Amino acid sequence: MKIKDSFWIGLLAGAASFGLFFLLLSLIPWAEPYRRAPFLLAFIPGIILFRMLLVKWKYDLMGRGILAVTVVGMLLVFFLFK
């Protein structure tokens, strides 16, 4: 089955990978100095998926969508959680 190369599917894939991994990480009790850790660690699957889509499978638009979710999400974490 061929997957359509779409920016919107990339946005959904990036958000879904972040959300699922964040739910998994939220089960771990984090100490107060590490309250940003689950947010930042939840971006790791998106970065791995981004690399696989761009380099290995040549899906440029989907990779850009995942990159957009990752960059905007990391900026939000850094600016909202001081």
Question: Which tens digits make up the pLDDT trace of 71-82?
Answer: 999 999 999 987
Q: Which long-range contacts (CB under 8 A, 24 or more apart) does 1-5 make?
A: 3/59, 3/62, 5/59, 5/60, 5/61, 5/62
Answer positive or negative: Cα dihedral of 67, 46, 34, 77.
Answer: positive
Q: Where do the structural domains in the chain lie, given as residue ranges?
A: 34-82
pLDDT (tens digit per residue) in 33-49: 898 899 999 999 999 99
Give the position of tokens 């100490």. 31
Length of the chain: 82
pLDDT (tens digit per residue) in 14-37: 999 999 999 999 999 999 889 889
* Amino acid letter, residue 64: R
